[in-house]
Structures are given as structure tokens and as C-alpha cells.
Amino acid sequence: MRLNTLLLLSILLALYACAPLRPLGPDLPEETSIPTEPEKEKEREPEVPEKRQIINIGIAFEKESATIECPEKKWEFKAGANLGRTEIETKGRCTYAGKTYRGNWSVLSTDSGLVVINSLDIEDYLKGVVPYEIGRLNKQGFEALKAQAVAARTYAYRHLNSRRSQGFDMYADVRDQVYNGTGGEDSLVNEAISMTRDLVIKYNGNLIEAFYHSTCGGKTDGTEVWGQENRPYLLSVLDTANGKVYCESSRLFNWEEKFSRTELAILFQNNATNARADKVFPFSRVEQIFIIEKFPSGRVKRLVVITDKGSFEVFGDRTRWLFQRDGKILPNAAFSIAQDRNEITITGSGFGHGIGMCQVGAITRAREGQKFDEILKAYYTGVEIESF
């Protein structure tokens, strides 16, 4: 390492030792190759939820046209025509973009395009959510399906009206919860939803933010990884028993990514804004990458990149976006870095932000005989399971 780089690093370490963690926004969409978690918008707090059984889901956002095929009629819409909202009531299931859905429909036409909205009973909505969030399981995983149903229901009720300014309640993708209509419905999933009907997770009598993710890697985290104040029911908890990690069966329990320094120079400049780096500037080479601080869970809290033109810092869960390539961010922020002259290796554990219920851990717990309420209380601290 050159002398000026060493000098710069020593100055940085002295400054960062007393620097506070800069607040950062919450999570953004994940890849969907294995169960995903909902996105949390920056500083978005839903209103006090109403007791409403019908939920409105934003299915699609079209620039030019939209076609909804119902048993009694085929509806066609053109952008820019008939501005306002058109309601479609149907006696059967309709198809949009090759997918079939329960419930009724509306299309909101604005100057910027069309918003396609599916309105249905929350319990029916869950039938199109649970199998896409945790997968189709056999009877050994039935209690995990029930736990996922309760978590997804809690999230849905808490977020009624959270997208009201856009004309609906929630997105149909990882910005909230993945919802794909009837195509993935499963009889065991539907039974789990039915057996937990109306059950939600509460803390001190209020609905919680029921965040969840795929694989915690042995320890969950609190919302401090997003630069937010921790919530009393979303604390870091160990996901182990008798020396075994509940989610160790996940294919992304351990993972490794390799990057050349040339590649990283390009990626870091492309990704710095999305990673919310404290500074964005042009450079030619990545000299060194240092993890300055970690959260107690082992996830990266502060990461410093030293380049040939200066240094910048990235915080918390956003470090994953810094390494994004081919549309994929790092699986988890629990990682370490090994670097040589030409190559940098990232070794990590887990998939997702690590907050709330660990889905693979929940599946293992179910297979070992734990009931759904026991599973939920293992991941959400001090909560009760009640009817809403």
C-alpha cells in the first residue's frame, strides 16, 4: 500500500471513531429467486388501520393500454382517454397480463398512464401472497405456513391506506408483498390461511410492522440497520438451539462473491447514489475497502472505500447496493472482505435485510414441532397473537 493511502486511512479511522451513523432510508426491492420481503419506503408510516376487509392492490402501471378479460366482458383501456376511475364489478375471475385473479377491478386513468387495481377480500388476497413469500410446503411445514399467513395478514392490515395517494393500498410486488393472483394457490396454504383467519400480531394492543425475510444467518436484526430507531418488538434475536442455526439449510446461508478491482471501480461509481454514499465523485481505481464498524448481529454498519481520488462511506444495509451487478445486490449485509492486488472477495451469510421473521428458520422450527404462535413469538419480541 502506498504511503499516502496509509496516511489517509489513519486520518479516516480517527474521524470515524467519533462520527455518528448517518440516517438512511429503508429497504428496497430484492431479487425474487427465493422468498422475498416487502420493501419499506423512506419514513413511511401508515395511518391507524381501519377495520376493512377489502384491500386494493396496485397490479400494474401502464403507459399506453390495459386489457382485463372477465367472464362476461373484455375491458380495454387506452391511456389519456376517459380520465378518472372506472370500476369493474364481475361475477367471476378475471385475467390480466396472463394471470388470473379473484375479486373486482378498477382502472385509474391519469395524465401519466393507467393504474390497474385489483380489489378483493384480505383473506383471498393472502391466498395469492403466502405461496409466493414462503413457498409451497408439505404438511411438516404447515405451522410455518400459518406463521407466514399471520405475518402477511398483519402487514396487510397495518398498511391499508398506505398508498392512498396513488389510488390503492399496496403494491403487488416486493415494495410491499408479492401477490400473483390464483396461479400459485395451494390447498395446504389455503388451509393455513383459513385456520388462522383474522389473527394478527400485536404489541401493546397495536398492529406491528411484521417485516420478514428469507434467511437470517443465525441472528436477526433491528431496524437500526436502516438507520432507524429500533422498535421494541423488532429486536436482534439469536435463531439457534443446541448449537444449530435454524436457517442453516438455506442455500444462501453461506455465500461468496468475487470482484476484480477494475469491475468494482465501475460498479461503485454506478451504484454510489443508490447505496446512499456520503460522497459521489469520479475515480479510476479502488485502492482499499474497510469495514469500520459492525452491528452486534455481525451485519456491516459502516464501510469505507478508498480510491485514487479520495474516499467515501456507505452505511448499514445500503452497503449491499454498492456491490450491485446484473441487477443483484449482495444477499445480506453480514459479510467480510478479503482483498489482494487484483481481486476482492466478499464472504457472507444470509439472504435479505434480517429484520423480523426468518422464513427458512420458521420452516425448520415447524418441522421440529413448534406451533405457529411459538414461531412468531421467537422472532417478534413481546407480542401477542390476537383477532383483529
For 45-57, the pLDDT digits (tens) are 555 556 689 999 9
> Do 276 and 176 fall into the same domain?
no
Residue 294 is part of which domain span? 3-26+255-348
Residues 137 and 280 in one domain: no
Looking at the fold, whether 90 and 225 belong to one and the same domain comes out as: yes
Residue range 102-131: mean pLDDT, rounded? 95
Q: Are residues 13 and 156 in the same domain?
A: no
Q: Is there a single domain that holds both residue 280 and residue 378? A: no
Q: Is the pLDDT of residue 251 over 60?
A: yes
Say if 142 falls within a structural domain: yes
Number of domains in the chain: 2
Q: What is the pLDDT of residue 152?
A: 98
Grid cell digits, residue 56: 386494493
Is residue 144 included in any domain, yes or no? yes
| 361 and 212 together in one domain | yes
Segment 47-97, tens digit of pLDDT: 555 668 999 999 999 999 999 999 999 999 999 888 899 999 888 999 999
Does 216 share its domain with 364? yes
pTM: 0.86
Please indicate, yes or no, whether residues 98 and 209 belong to a single structural domain of this protein: yes
Tell me, yes or no, whether 206 and 336 share the same domain: no
Q: Cell 480517527 maps to which residue?
A: 14
Residue environment code for 220-253, b if the CB has 16+ CB neighbours within 10 A, otherwise e = bbbbbbbbbeebebbbbbebeeeeebbbbebebb
